[in-house]
Amino acid sequence: MKKVVEFLTANPVQYLATVGRDGKAKCRPFMFCFEQDGKLWFCTNNQKDVYKDMQANPYVEITVSSPSYAWIRLHGKAVFENNIAVKEGCMNNPIVKGQYQTAENPIFEVFYLEEPHGVIADFSGNPPYEF
């Protein structure tokens, strides 16, 4: 998990793919918040289409590449939890704080990936790191 957290932290704008409520693929920029208790946490707004899409179909995939042409593909089930400690931790990010002001904001939602799986790979010819 350490290698995954390091990669996501070093490449802060990832892309989250969902299946839209119209049955079509949707992909949008997203940000990893942090790891806590072995869970990878993210946040969003319950007024957005991405939240509604994940409520309808919680299976998502996240990807990002590094400046050195390595990449991660990570998939799992988005599990929303009203976890005030995680919400408060997300407020340490100035972008999140600027959007939601407080952890108690009623539109502010946090979720983690249940049983995340994926790979970190590059063009080196070395086998990918699977997790």
Average pLDDT over residues 19-39: 97
Q: What gap in Å lies between CA 55 and CA 15, rounded to an integer?
A: 18
Q: So where are the chain's domains?
A: 2-122
* CATH topology (fold) of 2-122: Pnp Oxidase; Chain A (2.30.110)
pLDDT-derived band at 30 (thresholds 50, 70, 90) equals very high
pLDDT-derived band at 4 (thresholds 50, 70, 90) equals very high
Taking only the tens place, the pLDDT of each residue in 82-112 is: 999 999 999 999 999 999 999 999 999 999 9
The runs of H, that is alpha helices, within 1-130 are 2-10, 49-56, 84-90, 94-100
Strands (E), the chain: 14-19, 25-30, 32-36, 39-45, 59-65, 71-80, 108-121, 129-130
Does the pTM exceed 0.75? Answer: yes
Confidence (pLDDT) at 98: 97
Taking only the tens place, the pLDDT of each residue in 36-80 is: 999 999 999 999 999 999 999 999 999 999 999 999 999 999 999
Residue whose C-alpha is closest to residue 48's, from 107, 127, 115, 124: 107
Unique residue bearing structure tokens 């002001």: 101
